[in-house]
Amino acid sequence: MLRFTSTLMLFAVCLGHTTTWAQTPIPEFFGIYALSDGTLTELLEDDNLNNLEPDVEFVIHWRGNELNRAVKMFYIPPEQPKESNSGEFTGWDNFGRQLSQFTERNGRLLEWGVGLDAVEVPFRMGPYGGSSEMVRVVPVQDLSPGLYQLLKGGRFWVRKAQVLASYTKAAGADRATTGGTGVTTKFGIDNRSGHTIQVFLDGNETPLATLRHFSNYTGQLEVGSTHTIRVELAAKFLAPAQVFRTEFTVPRVMRDITVTGRGLRDCPGRC
């Protein structure tokens, strides 16, 4: 009876050890891997080949004690369109252009390879596979469609086709939604809220712009067209997240819409 009990206890200990560490699959080589539906896929150097789903998780397999360095994830918003009648976007995070305008304020270009407009994405991190050279990275919530970066250089898309379709639609929306005259005028958003904000136009769920405090967006809208705008303020310290909305018809000369901590100002008509 004593031998049977000892054997059972040994089996239970082994089973418990297996349950604790048997996280699979295990990557064979060092790198950053997307973990989805029980499958690991290594992130490639070309971000256009890394097209993932919103519920993706990650496994980082790095040599020795290099995992002790900080791990960060960023959302990389699109560059703002240049002020022109085309409404076309110029691309995502033009690193060379930003580096040529380097100042002390954008030191993280060198540390992380991202611009000042990149937004940190919150996540949780824990052990993986029973190895000190591996960690599991789990975003706090599903990722919205867009371009992201994990560590320095590990870039990937979430539903890229949906993102590109949304920005093509947004460029067209810059020219007109309803009742336009064919003549465009400047449309601007000036962020004076003290928060990072996201701006949405005409019900599009992909942000037209992500703006830090004291930054602005400039585009073009068609005179006489009618639009709705939604501005979401991120939570900050003790200040909760807020959402402001307004609908307006574009005049021939349009002042920048100012976003404050209390609402919108300088809208055409009334905010």
Query: For each successive 10 residues of the chain (271 residues), what is the average pLDDT?
Result: 40 39 80 93 91 95 71 80 46 53 58 78 92 92 91 90 72 50 84 92 88 89 89 81 90 90 87 77
How far apart CA 93 and CA 117 sit, in angstroms, is: 9
Instruction: Examine residue 182 and state whether it is found in any structural domain, yes or no.
Output: yes
Instruction: Examine residue 52 and state whether it is found in any structural domain, yes or no.
Output: yes
- Helices within the chain (DSSP H only): 2-21, 95-100, 108-112, 160-175
Instruction: Examine residue 75 and state whether it is found in any structural domain, yes or no.
Output: yes
Q: What is the pLDDT of residue 162?
A: 85
Q: What is the pLDDT of residue 16?
A: 40
Q: What is the pLDDT of residue 57?
A: 96
How far apart CA 25 and CA 28 sit, in angstroms, is: 9
Q: Which domain holds residue 218?
A: 176-265
Instruction: Examine residue 224 and state whether it is found in any structural domain, yes or no.
Output: yes
Number of domains in the chain: 2
Q: Which of 131, 158, 185 is the last residue of a domain?
A: 158
CATH number at residue 200: 2.60.40
Does 189 share its domain with 221? yes
Residue located via tokens 């920005």: 167
**What are the b/e assignments for 141-150, b being 16+ CB within 10 Å?**
eebbbbbbbb
pTM: 0.51
Instruction: Examine residue 4 and state whether it is found in any structural domain, yes or no.
Output: no
Instruction: Examine residue 9 and state whether it is found in any structural domain, yes or no.
Output: no
Peptide bond into 81 cis (omega under 30): no
Beta strands 57-61 and 73-76 are unpaired
Does 127 share its domain with 190? no
Length of the chain as a residue count? 271
